[in-house]
């Protein structure tokens, strides 16, 4: 088992939509594109753009097995690198808020 | 450059967002209603076959169990758009272990009872079906709770 990554702010993950995507992917082995679109409540183009950014960073992988009738479903999963970056980012968010007074 | 206090306020918002996203995902995971029933039937048929037959039939039955479970998982994945990770939190891990022990116990118990106790084997099969269904729903619920609380790598 790998050690917990230390706190590290990640600009790529911090963008709200990408953060939500990464959190959703961390909770699953694979998630379908349409589920992520539903989570974000945005258009396909916006989801695609966010996924492309995450993919270029090496944080997610996309697979497109051809379904019955030729329908292509895109499945997205978090890579080991993406998981580490998310853990580090969440640890940093916790570190940053440690000294703040409790929210109302 | 952003100050640390500005970042802290932003960080709190991000942590709230993470909690909301986890809550949303936790509602999405879980199996369709037919999944646990199907799995229960597969376990029950293995219990019956182990009790009343032997040799090749038990192997065929095991093949049906493995193949059927694979088909169920693939269909559930297709229906929900989500593939849950293998047990992930303390509650889900514990319930998965209990579920497997109950199924294996019933299969093993049926083999011990044998053909002389067909009634008991049938009761064991019904019991294993019900237990698989109930523990399956309990597992889903535990998984949701584990995800919502962030008992995962993220």
Q: Is residue B154 part of a domain?
A: no
The pLDDT mean for chain B works out to 87
Total domains present in chain B: 1
A49-67 per-position pLDDT tens digit: 999 999 999 999 999 876 5
Q: Is residue B153 part of a domain?
A: no
B52-79 per-position pLDDT tens digit: 988 899 999 999 999 999 999 999 998 9
Virtual torsion, Cα A41, A42, A47, A50, nearest 10 deg: -100
* Domain of residue B76, residue span: 4-148
Distance CA A94, CA B3 (A): 16
Q: Is residue B114 part of a domain?
A: yes
Distance CA B125, CA B96 (A): 19
* Residues from A in contact with B at Cβ < 8 Å: 9, 14, 16, 19-20, 22-24, 26-32, 34-35, 39, 73, 75, 83, 86-87, 90, 92-94, 96-97, 99-100, 103
The secondary element (H helix, E strand) that includes residue A30 is strand A28-32
Is A103's pLDDT higher than 70? no
Q: Is residue B20 part of a domain?
A: yes
Test mutation, B1, B3, B24, B81, chain A, max A CBs within 10 A: B81
Instruction: Write out the two tokens for B31.
Output: 């199996």
ipTM over 0.85? The verdict is no
Residue A90 has its nearest CB partner, among B18, B83, B84, at B18
Residues of A in contact with B6 (CB under 8 A): none
Domains in chain A: ranges and CATH: 11-94 (1.10.10.10)
């Amino acid at each position: 088992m790998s050690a917990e990554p230390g706190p590290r702010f990640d600009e790529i993950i911090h963008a709200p939509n990408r953060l939500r995507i990464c959190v959703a992917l961390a909770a699953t082995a694979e998630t379908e594109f349409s589920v992520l679109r539903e989570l974000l409540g945005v258009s396909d183009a916006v989801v695609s753009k966010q996924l492309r950014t995450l993919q270029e960073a090496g944080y997610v992988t996309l697979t497109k097995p051809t379904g019955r009738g030729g329908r292509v479903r895109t499945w997205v999963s978090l890579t080991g690198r993406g998981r580490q970056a998310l853990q580090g980012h969440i640890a940093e968010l916790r570190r940053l808020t440690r000294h703040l007074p409790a929210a109302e | 450059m952003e100050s640390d206090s500005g970042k802290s306020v932003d960080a709190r918002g991000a942590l709230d967002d993470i909690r909301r996203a986890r809550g949303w995902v936790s509602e999405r995971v879980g199996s369709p209603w037919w999944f646990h029933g199907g799995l229960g039937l597969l376990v029950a048929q293995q219990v019956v076959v182990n009790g009343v037959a032997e040799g090749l039939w038990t192997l065929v039955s095991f093949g049906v169990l493995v193949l059927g479970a694979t088909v169920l998982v693939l269909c559930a994945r297709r229906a929900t758009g989500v593939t849950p990770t293998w047990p992930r939190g303390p509650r889900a891990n514990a319930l998965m272990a209990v579920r497997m022990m109950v199924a294996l116990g019933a299969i093993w118990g049926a083999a011990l009872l044998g053909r002389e106790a067909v009634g008991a084997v049938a009761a064991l099969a019904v019991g294993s079906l019900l237990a698989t269904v109930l523990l399956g729903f309990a597992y889903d619920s535990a998984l949701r709770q584990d995800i919502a609380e962030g008992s995962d790598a993220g």
